[in-house]
Amino acid sequence: MTTNTMSENSLLRQARGTTFFLSDDDYMNLHWPKLESAILLILRQSPGQFIPISYEEMYSTVYKCVCQQYADRMYSNLIELVATYLRRVSMELQETPKEAYLEKFHFVMEQFFQAVSGIVAIFSYMNRFYVTTKLQTDLKTELGKLFTTLVADNDSLFTVIEEVSSKPFGADPQVMMSIVKGLYSLKPEFSSRNPVLFARFIPNLLPPTQCEQLPSLIQEDRMLQEDLVTSQGFSRDDTGKKRRGDDFHGR
């Protein structure tokens, strides 16, 4: 048995041994505001940052609300809170200059993926005994759908991706890989918007290359080499694979 499971079982035993009654006023003025504050803190954390939040206190609050038949209301409040937050994120992205758009989107996507893990942990009791049982889904999936609909599924993002991916070294390969994999995990159908790009990072996405496709692939490779020479400063004769003018600085 893991430490988290033991801690969770201990919390449940303590809660079951306590008689409590939850009124509408208690829920709206005491319990939900506490959860709301924790959720907003989690959503606003930068990737890799973890603000200390009492897991035991939040989990206990969720448990009490579920036991007092507030699961439906709590789930609706949670979804609306996250949706409102993501609408603001979407507006900020719309106001982001094109040259900074991809980096901004990568940041908010990584930020949200991290936040989902924390939110699911806090609401795990509600997830098991309400979302999974009654709604026949799970919290992680529903939060992912919100991000997909409100943030990721927009023409601006895929226009920028198309423009950047068509230029050699147009974007940090690690950033592009993270974005493509993240989008694919949210909605595999996104790959149809740029199959060639997605196939670079998603194995077996495209069918095997046929013999009749080889001439066009060779031509694409030749065009890439020409672009490296004319636009990126590489030389065909430079066996050291340095750009012209790099020799002095490389010593």
Within 10 angstroms of residue 172's Cβ, the number of other Cβ atoms is: 13
Q: Residues 6 or more apart from 185 whose CB is under 8 A from it?
A: 144
pTM of the entire predicted model: 0.76
The mean-pLDDT minimum among 42-46, 120-124, 201-205 falls in 201-205
| Percentage of residues in the chain having pLDDT higher than 90 | 57
Task: Tell me the C-alpha to C-alpha distance, in Å, between residue 94 and each of 1, 91, 132, 158, 180.
Answer: 47, 5, 34, 13, 20
Q: How many CA atoms lie within 13 A of 16 on its CB side?
A: 6
Is the pLDDT at 213 greater than 60? The verdict is no
Q: Compute the average pLDDT of residues 228-238.
A: 54
Question: pLDDT (tens digit, 9 = 90+) per residue, 164-188?
Answer: 888 877 788 899 999 999 999 999 9
**Amino acid making up residue 235:** S
Task: Give the mean pLDDT of the chain.
Answer: 82
Question: Which of the two residues, 220 and 249, has the higher pLDDT score?
Answer: 220
Are 82 and 148 in contact, with CB atoms under 8 Å apart? Answer: no
User: What pLDDT was estimated at residue 49?
Assistant: 85
Residue 124: pLDDT over 90: yes
150's CB contacts (< 8 A; 6+ apart) are 83, 86, 87, 89, 90
